[in-house]
A = this chain, B = another copy of it.
């Protein structure tokens, strides 16, 4: 089942199921739109990027250009701006590796400075909010030249961000959190609906790892505080039904504060993709 079309559909479905899952505190889901970015924008982006996802599943090199192409295709299909940039950064190497963390780790290690330049281009069109990377200010137009001159690989850039960026951290540390999510979703889906398995895994992940998106918007302390609140919400629970009102309240709080754990959602997408490739069925 590792044919490129199958893998691309697993990636589409991972994005669709993730955004549909509810209540998913702080993020866009079937019950919550953001002012400029709606549930339907995420659905259209997930569906529209199919050809790039399939091309990734056929490729062993060119991760940067594929991330760039996915970001472009996503914007062609919807008018809500950036929906899946972090998800593409995670999904593209996983697609190239047919879901194997060992293969994906080799693929990211082999990235080049051309990949880094393409990544910067993708970044600027997706209009993503990030901490500036120390040595290569993304706002500076001559960064691309400097990257090529210095021979900086995309993997090197990810290393610079790995201590404060969840997705970069996956690239440089063997896609461990993604796999942890895949295992947890698969296990939970044995005893609960796929929706509840996703939401419970999302909360568990958020409780254990402060979210990059929130850190970038509000600073480290806020991201830690949100994780502590996630931890309180899920403490001792075995299923979603028993904590539904607490989860709803947490959701409303985060939406009021505009604190959306977008990077946690990206890891969930990666985990869902790996789980679907391994045979998880809705």
| Residues of chain A having any CB pair with chain B under 8 Å | 5, 8-9, 12-13, 16-17, 20, 30-31, 38-41, 43-44, 47-48, 50-51, 77-80, 193-195, 281-282
Contacts and interface: CB of A to CB of B under 8 A. Distances in A.
Nearest to A10: B47
Given A20-B39, A20-B43, A77-B282, 14 more contacts: A5-B50, A9-B50, A12-B12, A16-B43, A16-B47, A17-B43, A20-B20, A20-B30, A30-B31, A40-B193, A44-B282, A50-B50, A77-B281, A78-B281
26 contacts: A5-B51, A8-B50, A9-B47, A9-B48, A9-B50, A9-B77, A12-B12, A12-B47, A12-B50, A13-B43, A13-B44, A13-B47, A16-B43, A16-B47, A20-B30, A30-B30, A38-B282, A40-B193, A41-B282, A44-B281, A47-B47, A77-B281, A78-B281, A79-B281, A79-B282, A80-B282
Contacts of A12: 12, 47, 50
A194 B40 contact: yes
9 tightest A-B contacts by CB?
A: A30-B30, A13-B47, A40-B282, A44-B282, A12-B47, A78-B282, A16-B43, A5-B51, A40-B194
Nearest to A73: B9
A38 B281 CA distance: 13
Interface of A is mostly: helix
Nearest to A3: B51
A193 to B, nearest CB: 7
Contact of A40 (B40, B48, B195): B195
Contacts of A16: 16, 43, 47
A30 B16 CA distance: 12
Contacts of A51: 5
A93 to B, nearest CB: 21
A24 to B, nearest CB: 13
Contacts of A77: 9, 13, 281-282
A190 to B, nearest CB: 13
Q: Which of A12, A30, A38, A79 has the most CB of B within 10 A?
A: A12
